[in-house]
Amino acid sequence: MDGWVWRVFTLAICSATTTDYTSSTVPITATITTTTKSPTTVTPPTTTVLKCDNGGKPENGVCICPDEWTGVTCSEENFCGEQQLGGFRFPRTPIGWFAYSEEKCEVGTSGAGKPQASARCLSINGSPGFSPPQIFQCDLTLSDIQKNLTSPADLETLATSTQILTSKAEELTAENVTAAAEIVNTLLLSANATESVRVSAVATVSQLLNATVPDDTKENNATLGLTVTLDQLSVNLSLSQKTSQSQVVQPNLVVQSAQIPAADTHGVQFTSFRGISGNFLPNRIHLNTNATQVVVENSFIADALIYIRFPPGEDARSRQTDSNVSLGFVLYQNDRFFRSKLYMRRRATIRVLSASVRGQEPNVVPQHVEMMFRPRLINGTSLYDFSCVFWNYSQKDWSTSGCSKGNTSDGLMRCFCNHTTNFAALWSYRENYEYAEALGAISIVGLSLSFLGLIVTIIHHIKEIFQKEEQTNLISVQSRLCIYFSLLAFIITFVSGVQNSSRQIDIEVQTDDRTNNLLVSDERVEPDRGSCTAVAALLHFLLMTTFMWNSVNGTQILIQKMRRSLPPLWTLLSMALGWGVPALIVAITLGVTYRVDNPLGYRQEEFCWLAALDKNKHFSFEKPLFWGFLLPVGLILIYNIILLSCFRKSFLECFTLAVLLGVSWVFGYLVLITSGTMNLVFSILFCLCTTTQGFHIFIITATTPTFRAAMSRSVQYLSSARPIRRNTRTRS
């Protein structure tokens, strides 16, 4: 169901109906900081010329490509096409990744449903092609593999089998992840592991990073141990390889190593570039082994970046000219292996980047480490704050010591650290609330009429009470007065307070604040400032009292019509029902949902009214609008409609009662269950009826003989005209 329908309904009085229709989903551009200026704003013309193919997105003069395409305009193939190999069918796969056969293990084997073979897509002499398929023994399980690891075995088969067994990340349990992590750890540490074993192991880790399993101590231990091994591996790779650089890139994990001469290198920069998806691909990973400074020219297409500067001058010359420095980088798609107790992460994605440096001489200490991370913002949110951290293995949590914050230029969070370990930028976001104009023209006219109508009606009834005319039904007038007062107070509160006066969006973002404190949560919710919650609670209470008094009044009329005298203590009972029940409901709702540091459990941020939608902007039955308002009001309405059907009178009287009983609110419920044109019609009817409810009450009052008599007396008094003989014998 669309968010705006709920907005209309939840607003009680149809504000901003028209703007909501047109503006449905205007994305709010995430402004990272107000002070930063993208360098690309200087040269925008390129964006107009650029045309991206194959679903690429032009951004700041560069095409951001989908996984399967590359090149300046995303027109170069970056995949192996679907192919039949050795009796297995492999789907289209980006270069560097593994494909799994469409043929699955048969039911009855322990690996039932798992692919029978895997093949890696490689770029051989510039043209993409699959490597020979690796066949999986369908009866193997992870625990079998664990047992076989202790005896000399064919590591390649074990590595492939583990990879295939973990290929469906969503099916993995915590035990599976633990077992797989232990196997992979052993494989990577094994002196006999060949390159293909390592690649397969890295691919397995990449798959494990996609598993969604609950927090599990044993699993945390195994996966955290894996990160230590990966750090070592990233440096060791360069030592065992003939080439000076090597790289394994899988969708969620990059392991890069390099060996550089220590003598005349200034610095090293490792960069992961952006794609439409967040996946890692070999063509998006770049290493510059001789960078004198961070290259930020294209920073807007970088996703994560690390720059390590080595001591210059005499230090460099004092190093032996032929000695080498080994470097290793590991980039994780998320922080799944780094489970923090200090930082509560619910929806944000945190990339973790690690750098390891090892030289032949022990004193090759990086002088300066600079990092940049691009937050992957969820739709409708913007960056609020971040902290630069590293993983402290003895503390088993993030720590900020030795790290400091930079600015957020080009939407990249900048960090500096004086050591090299597993780094991350923890960040928090906040919702981009759409503070629509609360009151549309229809509502203003309707509410003004209602306001005036109610004032006149209330004055009339008060006068009636004081004049104590015989035919006045005092108890009925009293309960009607309660309805009118509630409605009037509701309108006044609504007009003056429904628009949030202390809007979160007006509070400055914190990204320029350089104090690097550890964030406690990825969601930023401003603590309550009180006024908006007070308005919401008052509106909640007043609308509930209006409905309760409608019912009390209706019941009372029915009892009197049936010529029965009202029960004893009726006044007391009606007070308890009319004021007490709503107060109780509001108190319970507040007690259950409201917290000072998270007021949005009770109310909305855009309007001071009850919360209705969940995080995905869908209506939620767990939110107070449903159970704290719609449900009780719905029950009252059903009761009122039953009351109404008991009267069986003229159309006018029926209409009168319907207005008094608030039956027009049925349209609100019809809005919820209809769609298309009917929905629009009901929305408009609901809007018209509710805003003008007070005015209807006035019209009804104006048609009563007592009111006409009072009016004519006033006119008579004011104009001192000749006395009118009409008396007020008509019974009401």
Q: List interacting residues with ligand NAG (CB under 6 A).
A: 25, 27, 35-36, 141-142, 144, 147-148, 152-154, 157, 165, 169, 173, 175-176, 188-190, 192, 210, 217-218, 221, 225, 229, 232-233, 236, 244, 251, 259, 261, 264-265, 290, 292, 322-324, 360, 379, 392, 394-395, 399, 401-402, 406-407, 409, 414, 418-419
CB of 437 to ligand NAG, least distance (A): 22
CB of 134 to ligand NAG, least distance (A): 12
Q: Which of 422, 701 has the CB closer to ligand NAG? A: 422
- Residue 582 CB, shortest distance to ligand NAG, in Å, is 38
Residues 129, 378: Cα–Cα separation, whole Å: 36
Q: How far apart are CA 328 and CA 431, in angstroms?
A: 37
Please say which residue, 432 or 560, places its beta carbon nearer to ligand NAG. 432
Smallest gap from residue 622 Cβ to ligand NAG (A): 22
Q: Is 122 helix (H, G, I), strand (E, B) or coil?
A: strand
CB of 209 to ligand NAG, least distance (A): 8
Smallest gap from Cβ 312 to ligand NAG, in A, equals 11
User: Taking a C-beta distance cutoff of 8 angstroms, is the pair 384, 357 a contact?
Assistant: no
Closest to ligand NAG by CB, 135 vs 654, is 135
Structural contact between residues 93 and 102, judged by C-beta atoms closer than 8 angstroms: no
Q: How far is the CB of 545 from ligand NAG (least distance, A)?
A: 40
Please report, for residues 129, 281, 285, the alpha-carbon distance to residue 121 in angstroms, rounded to integers and kept in the order given. 6, 12, 17
Tokens 């650290």 sit at which residue?
A: 417
- CB-nearer residue toward ligand NAG: 234 or 553: 234
State how far the alpha carbon of 374 is from the alpha carbons of 278, 391, 617, in Å.
11, 19, 25
The residue to which tokens 């044993």 are assigned: 218
CB nearer ligand NAG, residue 153 or residue 588: 153
Q: Smallest gap, in angstroms, from Cβ of residue 279 to ligand NAG?
A: 7
Burial label, 566 (beta-carbon count in 10 A; 0-12, 13-18, 19+): middle
Nearest CA-CA partner of 221 in 190, 180, 169, 181? 181
Distances (CA, A) of 508 to 34, 90, 523, 533: 9, 52, 15, 21
Tokens at residue 147, please?
A: 């047992």
Handedness of CA 496, 501, 503, 506 (dihedral sign): positive
Q: CB-based burial of residue 34 (10 Å sphere; 0-12 exposed, 13-18 middle, 19+ buried)?
A: exposed
277 vs 732, beta carbon nearer ligand NAG: 277
Q: Which is nearer to ligand NAG, 360 or 467 (CB)?
A: 360
Pick 327 or 439: Cβ nearer ligand NAG: 327
CB of 218 to ligand NAG, least distance (A): 5
| Closer Cβ to ligand NAG, 380 or 601, answer by number | 380
**Cβ–Cβ contacts within 10 Å for residue 501, how many?**
12
- Amino acid, single-letter form, for residue 617: K
